[in-house]
Amino acid sequence: MSDTKPLIYCVEDEESIRGLVAYVLAGQGFEVGTFESAPQFWDAIERGRPQLVLLDIMLEGESGLDILKRLRSDERYKLIPVIMLTAKTSEIDVVSGLDSGADDYIPKPFSVVELVARIKAVLRRAGNGTTEETSTLRAGNIVLDEDRHTVTCNGEPVKLTLKEYELLQYFMTNTGLALSREKIMGAVWGFSFEGESRTVDMHVMTLRQRLGEEGKRLQTVRGIGYRWEGDA
């Protein structure tokens, strides 16, 4: 098995989103290239072929849809998976992106947990992803299956809401790290979520309850937030 990190390109004109995507994906073991505009992207792809492209539709000059059409018409790049990442959410925009050859479509605001899960799923379908092992997260008696979107504890299914599942997934992929409430909110509820840190505390409380004894792995870090304790 090669140790080479999968290369992902993100074409996005909002600097804050580019920075967030780069930070999160690097932490997930990906190599990331970010670009503000189409010319920067085309220059980079000539020098290095990515395993996947995150593409915003609303770009100045050449739009994301135009970039996608060029990729799909070029023999060198037509098989590269593309996920559209955009604030445009009307049905016609979704259809246009998918009809032009997009592999998936994620509207803003998005949670980075969902983004990572979608990226891994698309890479696995394309045969460019990580092995089956990386789609299953384990800690003690807890097993989180990212493909099936399920959680079991001691072999029994654990019923979680979508946000509880994404919260657990985020903690387990960042085992041992002290995570601030702000970082957790940005990752699970989305970069533009305007809720209160109490939202995190309430979900952590219910998640601990649902996990029973294994919920003790979710430790409070005073003055910071929370940390998920993995196996010693």
Same domain, 119 and 157: no
- List the structure tokens of 154: 């001691």
Regarding pTM above 0.75, the answer is no
Question: Is 121 inside a domain boundary?
Answer: yes
The CB density around residue 9, as the number of other CB atoms within 10 Å, is 23
Beta partners for 180?
225
Of the three residues 101, 126, 151, the one that is the final residue of a domain is 126
139-198: per-residue pLDDT in tens?
A: 999 999 887 889 999 999 999 988 899 899 999 988 999 999 888 887 887 755 455 668
Question: Is 59 inside a domain boundary?
Answer: yes
Question: Is 1 inside a domain boundary?
Answer: no
C-alpha torsion angle, residues 200, 203, 205, 208 (rounded to 10)? -120
Same domain, 87 and 197: no
Same domain, 101 and 175: no
Q: What is the mean pLDDT of residues 120-126?
A: 85
Q: Is the pLDDT of residue 4 over 90?
A: no
Q: What is the pLDDT of residue 36?
A: 95
